[in-house]
Amino acid sequence: MQRIALALATLSLAGAAFAQTPPAAPETSSYYPAPPPLQAPTVEKGVPLTGLTSPLAAGQAAVTRTVIDSDAEAQLFANATKMTWGRYSKIKGAKPGTVAVTKQGALWTVKGRLESVAPGTEGDWVSIDGVVERIAANTIQIRGEVAFRVAKVQNGTACKVGGVLHFRRSGKSQAWRLAEGDNPCDGTQEMFDLAYEKPAEKRPVPAQGKKS
């Protein structure tokens, strides 16, 4: 009887100790800080994409005057009247396009277009439209856009380069070439130039001797 009573007492103490033992903490979740929601938040569909503006574009001040660091370069660029397109310039029958450099007060602008007439390229064109930010020695800096339309590239969609564009001239060259002239659609170097023509030199007329 004593053994049975001792066994019952031992079981009673073990049960009390088990009741006082706190439950084990649940396994920590792999999601932090919380598990994902059962349903993703809904969004409004069909919102128009009009009226959106770029914060970079908004931060750029409009060009109101052309900075001229080289009067000699400015005189040359003022006489720029034609543009050439290297993609087609070597095809027989290719002709240059026209460009107009205009002074509007202290601001210079440039605008032009070349319609390709070389055989097999009819309908392709290149254009430029922008304002001249700075004229320095051998460099013309323009803020604007140059567009290349090639029928076999992007199904004839005009491929454009825009922003601050740099036209550079070397030595005694009569042309400024667009440094950012790689076509963004197919990577072709378009070799797009703005050029001036030298004025014809006036030779002095030799004095004629008096007739006797």
**Cis-peptide into 33, omega within 30 deg:** yes
C-alpha distances in Å from residue 61, one per residue of 38, 58, 132, 135: 48, 8, 14, 18
Whole-prediction pTM value?
A: 0.66
Token pair for 78: 């003022």
pLDDT in tens, 56-103: 455 567 889 999 999 999 999 999 999 999 999 999 999 999 999 999
Q: Is the CB of residue 190 less than 8 Å from the CB of residue 86?
A: yes
45 pLDDT higher than 80: no
